[in-house]
Structure 1
């Protein structure tokens, strides 16, 4: 009965969503006007003359682009419990994230923004049900690998990780199907938590598993080891679906399928503390439907202009296919001209679909090449297609002052299955990298750089590195790219590089 009702509900929601999908520009115009009108009496609204804004051009003239640091004095007032700072009233929650130069970030979640987070996660599943006409997974057990749902209280505001906050909004009809238990979910130490999750789920009828790919791999490997079985499918015979988010799934796909023992349907999502931005609404393509009716007004700055004094700043109306943009958010949680730090690339304009192409703060441009995440991921993927191999994790850093010869890009790669000929694999990876980035190609051609070099990381080396800096688990990911040697040097300090390559 639950599966039957899910299919009926899925059809209704998909039809409802189609209305804004067919009128995306109108949806975005309406949201901008509503956001500005709603927040005009807040401190930020008064400081930026929201009462004078009637058009997008006027909005751009009055609201600058900022990251967390640029808006920190407003966030600090919100955190102290003051009202009407960035959005009317006080937020219901503060989502705590890490990664800024001043420590933790506190992103507001308001009574207006929270439903969009919850409904978007639900709708991603409903699109799948509607397309497949199969909702059998709702009858089995579902696991959500996430942060602790225990929330702190700070100045009258509840504070926690987004995934922990979201755990409080799982619908009642799914609660009895949900694993792990509350007692396991609140464990902070990630390795202890994974072991407990394995113990609770190894004998369960799991049908849906959700988490970021590095967590899933760690969970699957422990599961196989503890059970003594060959692969995950021999443990969970009815496993139908995975839901991932946080990082590009493609570099992990082959490893995940290998651990499971077969190809499995996967829904990719793009959630962030700042808002639920996109999800995969069809199994026919890997790109993500940009959610243009989700309480957020989006802006875009071309990546190659971002560090200019006056970069181009556009709305959805003027984006182009195949171009990388820095994503800027204006939200019903009170974020204004907010640089989330991600770059996106449009794959379709009808409807508007994207892939996340990287992080504007995570790039390699020690020589002016400005290599971004999408380029290194694509180069590695295309190389693996030619040379059978599988990769657990990787990161790229410049080697500006080698002991001898020209500078180069160093790729730290942890292989699950090494290529038979690492030298040929290395050579092909460089060829693919030159195809992805013309500036890099010019530097190789001009003898400014020499061919990239692969350094093989010991098994579980990336987990060891993350543990050493206190960031194992949680929402933490190793940067694909660095513009300095900090991460690479730490791998050598910790003796995580295989000396016999």
Structure 2
């Protein structure tokens, strides 16, 4: 589809033609400060934010020093036992606004056989935004038009998640892949059926069988 490739290439390259010389760039320290302030502002009305008075911190010029002094470091066991366990029953606004719909299962460690990491709606949106920015960065490499017609092979965990009454659990890659935008489905490989397979060996064998029929330009 040459026309599709031309349209996508033009859309991706368009932002690179806009001059940004006059935009004010923040230093790394300023960026971190702005990020902390944004996180405090968003979480100030959660149980965690109220316990450590995030709202009060935001009213102080030295909020960074106050944050360092008043908010202790938490390892996984500590924050799960004190806070995150409440999200498993569907409680909202524990450490972040809203309910937690997904939990990513990490590999086991000496501390726990498996760790349940909350994946919020805001986190999924942030991952999507980052992915879109990565796509727009392709404009730097001047790929030919037909490159943008090729498939994108994404190798990751199963998108077939386990439902536990109030939330879904599974691999982080499976959670994010299961939430890709509808317009991306045209390019996404190995497709919905194979991506739901939980057995890794079976999934790889299915991909090997189908691979000769695909025109892959990117592996993620």
2:51 equivalent in structure 1: 47
Contact 1:142 1:177 in 2 (8 A): yes
Distance in 2 (alpha carbons) for counterparts of 1:20 and 1:204? 42
Please point out which of 201, 208, 229 is paired with 2:211. 201
Please point out which of 91, 95, 101 is paired with 1:92. 101
CA-to-aligned-CA distance 1:244-301 (integer Å, 9 cap, x gap): xxxxxxxxxxxxxxxxxxxxxxxxxxxxxxxxxxxxxxxxxxxxxxxxxxxxxxxxxx
- 2:26 is the counterpart of 1:23: yes
**Shift in Å, 1:59:** 0.9
Hey, which of these two has a bigger chunk of strand by percent?
1
1:163 equivalent in structure 2: 173
Match of 1:95, SS state, is strand
- Change beyond 3 A, Cα 1:43–1:19: farther
Please point out which of 10, 13, 32 is paired with 2:12. 10
**Shift in Å, 1:197:** 0.7
- Change beyond 3 A, Cα 1:72–1:193: same
**Shift in Å, 1:9:** 3.3
- Provide structure 1 residue ranges, at least 5 long, that are not aligned to the other structure: 211-501
**Shift in Å, 1:136:** 3.1
Distance in 2 (alpha carbons) for counterparts of 1:187 and 1:57? 48
Please point out which of 66, 70, 94 is paired with 1:58. 66
2:142 equivalent in structure 1: 133
**Shift in Å, 1:122:** 2.4
Contact 1:93 1:109 in 2 (8 A): yes
- Change beyond 3 A, Cα 1:200–1:159: same
- Change beyond 3 A, Cα 1:139–1:23: same
Match of 1:106, SS state, is strand
**Shift in Å, 1:2:** 3.0
Large movers: runs of 4+ above 6 Å: 16-21
Contact 2:160 2:198 in 1 (8 A): no
**Shift in Å, 1:196:** 1.0
CA RMSD of aligned residues (A): 2.6
**Shift in Å, 1:147:** 0.9
Distance in 2 (alpha carbons) for counterparts of 1:191 and 1:21? 50
Match of 1:148, SS state, is coil
**Shift in Å, 1:20:** 8.2
Contact 1:150 1:164 in 2 (8 A): yes
Contact 1:48 1:62 in 2 (8 A): yes
Match of 2:78, SS state, is coil
Contact 1:20 1:27 in 2 (8 A): no
**Shift in Å, 1:16:** 9.6
Distance in 2 (alpha carbons) for counterparts of 1:17 and 1:185? 40
Distance in 2 (alpha carbons) for counterparts of 1:18 and 1:67? 42
Distance in 2 (alpha carbons) for counterparts of 1:19 and 1:68? 43
Please point out which of 185, 194, 197 is paired with 1:184. 194
- Provide structure 2 residue ranges, at least 5 long, that are not aligned to the other structure: none
Match of 1:99, SS state, is coil
Normalised to the residue count of structure 2, the TM-score between the two structures is 0.82
- Change beyond 3 A, Cα 1:193–1:81: same
Which of the pair has the greater relative contact order for Cα pairs under 8 Å at 6+ separation?
2
1:287 equivalent in structure 2: none
- Change beyond 3 A, Cα 1:61–1:113: same
1:391 equivalent in structure 2: none
